[in-house]
Amino acid sequence: MFLLELNHIEFSYNNSFSMKDISLKIKSTEFISILGPNGSGKSTLLKILSGLLTQSDGIRLFKGKSYSSYNHKELAQLIGYVPQITSSIFPFSIYEVVMMGRTAYLNYFGIEKLNDRKIVNDTLERLNISHLRNKGINEVSGGEAQRAYIARALVQQPKLLLLDEPNAHLDIKHQISIFNILAELNKELGLTIIAVSHDINLVSNYTERIILMKEGKIFLDDKKSKVLLKKNLKSVFNVETEIIKNDENINVFIKTK
């Protein structure tokens, strides 16, 4: 049985943008990247997968059950979602931001228990931000803030982790650091991960399966060796590329002239 299935999903924003015939089958423990130009539907697809958006037609199944059969708390215990980084207007500390991820497990009064605090503290340690626990979320670097948002999703103890451009606005060192963390979570925890990104070379280093999107549709969904080809990148991004392959990786170079 697949962890997640989408069968012929359709979705539209007031007829200004539409997604058509989206079908996916996600196996447990996969690490998948979604690539595509701006406006191709990458973030929309991720929000549909998270349950934040409902589709106009089609059936979404999670572990054999329809999304609609889960309430919000139950879904939050299965799926963690990390949106694109935005600054908080409230001066929450790193610890408070991460603890928010335990909301789905708290009682009616929102009182955290010893186990909730342990899970949060362990996750802060795992992501190497324990020393920042009392720092404000807007007082740390972009890379540190991104680790906090990933930690917030992780304390939900999900089966599926969705990330919308986790490396956006970060320098090269922090981009690599974030994807190293994701690779470790995928390998050590068996966490299924789907990440939207614009960095072709970065995702080719970490993921074997790539979903390529264009104009609200899945243009191609396959192994990176079959997706990262000149003809595909030309069709989707309208750029000329030079592709170099070796035994371990695929490097894509954009031709500017």
Backbone angles phi, psi at 173, to 5 degrees: -60, -45
Integer Cα distance of 76 and 73 in angstroms: 5
Phi, psi of 185 (to 5 degrees): -65, -40
CA 135 to the chain's CA centroid: 25
Q: Cβ of 229: how many Cβ atoms within 10 Å?
A: 16
**Cα–Cα dist 11/158, whole Å:** 25
Closest by CA to 82, choosing from 204, 224, 178, 8, is 178
Provide Rg for the chain, Cα atoms. Answer: 19
Q: Full-prediction pTM beyond 0.75?
A: yes
The secondary structure element, H or E, covering residue 6 is strand 4-13
**Which is nearest to 77 in space by CA: 102, 46, 43?**
102
Q: Which residues of the chain have pLDDT under 70?
A: 1, 55-58, 85-87, 257
Environment class of 55 (CB within 10 Å of its CB; exposed 0-12, middle 13-18, buried 19+): middle
**Residue ranges covered by each domain of the chain:** 1-75+163-175+187-228, 79-157
Return mean pLDDT, the chain: 91
Task: List residues bridging with 82 in a β-sheet.
Answer: 163
pLDDT digits (tens, 9 = 90+) for 97-153: 999 999 999 887 778 999 999 999 999 999 999 999 999 999 999 999 999 999 999
State the residue for tokens 């000329």.
Answer: 240
Rounded Cα–Cα distance for residues 56 and 257 (Å):
43
What pLDDT, on a 0 to 100 scale, did the predictor assign at position 57? Answer: 54
pLDDT at 109: 75
* Res 115: pLDDT: 96
pLDDT at 86: 67
- Give the pLDDT confidence score for residue 55 in this predicted structure: 63
The domain 1-75+163-175+187-228 having CATH identifier 1.10.3470.10: the answer here is: no
- Strand 31-35 and strand 192-196: the pairing is parallel
